[in-house]
Amino acid sequence: MNKIQVEGQIDKVKDIKINKDTFIDIDGSNITLNITQTKKANIFIKIISSKLTLNITQTDNLIINIFTVNTSLTTKVDVIKDNLSLKYTYSTINEKENKYKIDVNHLGNNINSQITSHGINLKESLSFKINAVVPKTSKGIVTNQDSKIILEDGIAQIKPNLLVDIDEVEANHSAYIGEFKEEDLFYLKTRGLNEKQGINLLAKSFLMGQMSITFRERNIILEILKRYWRW
C-alpha cells in the first residue's frame, strides 16, 4: 500500500495520482488535495484537526474510507466514465465547530454510488451537506445516501440533497440526528454488557461498520478513539 503523509502544511495545494491502494495521513493542515485515480483502488484517509478540500477525479471503481477528528472537509468527486461504482464512507468525531460537504457528480452512464456519512458530535456544532448530482445526460444511475449524526452535546444539522435532472434514476437518501437507540442498548445489556460497554460497542460499529478497511486501518481508528471517546 502506498502512503502519503501531510503534516503541518498551511495553504498548500497538492496534486496526486493514485493507481493502487493508498493511505493518506493528514494532521494539523490546511490543504487542498487534487486526486486523479487511474486504476481501481481503495483509499483510506485519516485527518486530524485540519481543514481539507478534496477534489477527486474517478476513472475506475473506487472505495474511499475517510476518518476525521475535529476537521472541516469539503469533497468533490467527479465520476467521469461509464459503468463505475463508488463506495464513499465518511466518519468523524467532533468537539469543535466544523462543517462537512460532499458533491458526487455522476458524469457517465450506469454509475452506482453509495455515500455514507456518520458523525458523533461531542460539543460545539457539526453540519453535513451531501449532494448527489445527476445531469440529464447521464443514464442508468443508482445513488444512495446514508447520513447520521449521534448528538452527545452541541448542535447538528444534515442537508441531504438529490440534484437530479433526469427521470430514469434510482436515488434514495436517509438522515438521522439523535442518540444511540435505547432498544440497541437494551439488547446489549441482555447480553451482559453494562451501559458504558454497550455505548462503546455501538460507537465502534457506527463509525467503522460501513468501512471497507484492513485490520491495520481499523487499529489506527481504535487508537484515535481511545484519545477522543469515553472509554
The sheet carrying 10-18 orders its strands as: 10-18, 30-37, 51-58, 72-79, 97-106, 125-134, 155-164
Cα–Cα distance, 95 to 228 (Å, whole number): 9
Instruction: Quick: pLDDT tens for 102-112.
Output: 999 999 999 99
Higher-pLDDT residue of 68 and 8 is 68
- Residue 151, pLDDT > 80, answer yes
Instruction: Quick: pLDDT tens for 12-30.
Output: 888 999 999 999 999 999 9
pLDDT bracket for residue 8 (50, 70, 90): confident
- The answer to whether the CB of 59 falls within 8 A of the CB of 82 is no
Question: Residue 231 has what pLDDT?
Answer: 57
pLDDT bracket for residue 158 (50, 70, 90): very high
Question: Residue 230 has what pLDDT?
Answer: 67
Predicted TM-score of the model (pTM)? 0.95
Q: What are the b/e assignments for 177-206, b being 16+ CB within 10 Å?
A: beebeeeebeebeeeebeeeebbbbbbeeb
